Amino acid sequence: MSDFQERAEALDAADGLAGLRELFTLDDTVYLDGNSLGALPRHVPARMQDVITREWGALRIRSWDESGWWSAPERIGDRIAPLVGAGAGQIVVGDSTSVNVFKAVVAATRLAGEGRDEILVDATTFPTDGYIAGSAARMTGHRVVPVAPSDVPAALGPRTAAVLLNHVDYRTGRLHDLSGLTAAVHDAGALAVWDLCHTAGALPVGLDAHGVDLAVGCTYKYLNGGPGSPAYLYVAERHQAAFDSPLPGWTSHADPFGMTPGYVPADGSVRGRVGTPDILSMLALEAALDVWEGVAVEAVRAKSLALTDFFLECVAAYVPGGRVTPVTPAAHAERGSQVSLRCENADETEAVMRALVERGVVGDLRRPDVLRFGFTPLYVRFADAERAARILAEVLAA
């Protein structure tokens, strides 16, 4: 047994979160792609069997009331809230991240008021966010200004209405300064909209503490809600009375069953709803969130940093010099919960990842030359990090 294997064994033995791994359906594979799709919590299939056979099969329409289907978007939102540092009543679950980005960006431009016609967008953003922001700008008469997150303070001005930023760069794993950038946006009189897809469930976010205006996020990554599980929308309480959704669906109406032709928005986070909730995937998410009972996000963050530190150390020791280069920042304050490695030879990136998967190490890649490894602290072990680095070295050496 190597020194790194011995260290991994000792770190796993001392890990206060180690027991949570048993709550998930896992095998001998080293699964480092939870930043794309989280693992299945073991109890979710039984819960869904009950939803399908009893709530849908036996109770049918009665379940909207008797099984709490109608209130699920707000109820589940309140369960997500502590994981992102939000008080109750500010998060509603439903729709996709893309749809919620559209709601948030358009609503932010309306909240910003007259004379502000620019939307600053993270130039390194996940493509969909940029596409949606561009469409929102065309529809509202604004113009999009792409800007690197570090350059946002200098780009802000009296014409800035809203700024759309990713908390973590999906390619590199770089963590951006949510607190400082939000403060700079506010100093310029604009609103801050954050995409939390790569941070919710991996590290403390502090939406309320840092005065974020609006935020969106998915639930199928670190929150383990399942493929295509519904996203969520955060609207700070101070903005809710003026929040003007560009998608005023019937379920966000103050009297949804009144079926009146005129739209009157409901109070609170309900304003973020649109159509009929996607109950099956929503209740799978609700069940998945049970794994967070009694788990502190701060403890998850501490393990995340320890895991990624250890993986980077193993890679440096095992992998032949120059074959891969970390593009994820070494500084803890600038790192999310993934490690991205740039291949020296871009042409071999896909072959390397295929070989890793064939040998039981599942990560993913971003063309042309980035290998991504996501570390989900609820179930990834230090032994997994060591094994992944060791097999990566063997693949590259071959």
Residue 113: the pLDDT is: 85
| pLDDT at res. 339 | 98
Q: Which of 4, 126, 170, 311 is catalytic?
A: 126
- DSSP H or E run through 64: helix 63-66
| Catalytic residue chosen out of the listed positions 220, 234, 310, 382 | 220
Does residue 220 have an active-site annotation? yes
| pLDDT above 80: residue 1 | no
Instruction: Return the residue matching tokens 């919590």.
Output: 41
Confirm whether pTM is higher than 0.85.
yes
Average pLDDT, the chain: 97
Q: pLDDT by residue (tens digit) across 252-311? A: 999 999 999 999 999 999 999 999 999 999 999 999 999 999 999 999 999 999 999 999
Residue type, 381: R
CA distance linking residue 334 with residue 172, whole number of Å: 11
Q: pLDDT tens for residues 203-230? A: 999 999 999 999 999 999 999 999 999 9
pLDDT score at 182:
98
Give the distance, in angstroms, between the CA of residue 210 and the centroid of all CA atoms in the same chain. 18
Has 103 been annotated as catalytic?
no
* Catalytic-role residue among 33, 95, 122, 195: 195
Q: pLDDT digit string (tens) for 247-258? A: 999 999 999 999
Q: Is 28 a catalytic residue?
A: no
What's the CA gap between 304 and 306, in Å, rounded? Answer: 5
pLDDT at 272: 98
Model confidence pLDDT, tens digit, residues 58-96: 999 999 999 999 999 999 999 999 999 999 999 999 999
pLDDT at residue 21 is higher than 90: yes
Q: Report pLDDT digits (tens) over 134-147.
A: 999 999 999 999 99
